Amino acid sequence: MLRVSDEEALALAEAIREVKATVGHCEVCFNLATEATCRICQDQRREAGVICVVEEPSDVIPIERTNEFGGRYHVLGGALSPIDGVDPEDLHIGELLGRASSDGVREVIVATNATTTGEATALYLADELRQRAPSVVVTRLASGLPVGSDLEYADEITLGKAFRGRREL
């Protein structure tokens, strides 16, 4: 930063100020938005009956890049981690349960990270959704071997999940 010109430093400072002033969270899904609702929630072509749950707004981007998902999102704002003091009340779980119970939702896809906290969050969400919205199908993203990887480098958990998630060719 000390090597850049004053103009470049001021331009960066202004860009940061502008983002802070104009970008917030969607009041429906908690994704990033410059209006009350994000562009995905505003898009009437998206399937409102299918919600993909992610931990952070940055998780929406890679899913959108696949062009495989045409539903709506719900951003939790993190993952459950009692050891770090992150409880269900600290995340947007109540809002998800409300959406799943009232919006004609047929499926909730849990796309939390494949970490200890992500898995714990997924199990918690599945249990809560089964209790509060029993007609909603709860699914989890498949996990296993990445394309282009060698079996010798896969850990036992990943390889085990790949075996359990196998499908007929």
Q: Which CATH number fits the domain that encloses residue 124?
A: 3.40.1360.10
- Residue-wise pLDDT tens digits, 21-68: 999 999 999 999 999 999 999 999 999 999 999 999 999 999 999 999
Q: Residue 54 forms beta bridges with which residues?
A: 75
| Residue 103, pLDDT above cutoff 80 | no
At 15 the pLDDT is 93
pLDDT the model gives residue 83: 93
Q: Is residue 155 part of a domain?
A: yes
Judge whether 169 lies within some domain. Answer: no
Q: With 90 as the cut, is the pLDDT of residue 154 above it?
A: no
Number of domains in the chain: 1
Domain that holds residue 48: 24-142+149-164
pLDDT tens, 26-38? 999 999 999 999 9
Does 18 reside within a domain?
no
Asked if the structure places residue 12 within a domain, the reply is: no
Closest C-alpha to 110, from 102, 97, 119, 99: 119
Residue 159 lies in a domain: yes
Look at residue 3 and tell me if it is in a domain.
Answer: no
Is residue 45 in a domain? yes
Cβ contact 51:107 at 8 Å: yes
Residue 127 maps to a domain:
yes
What confidence tier does 145 reach under pLDDT thresholds 50, 70, 90?
confident
For residue 152, the model assigns a pLDDT of 81
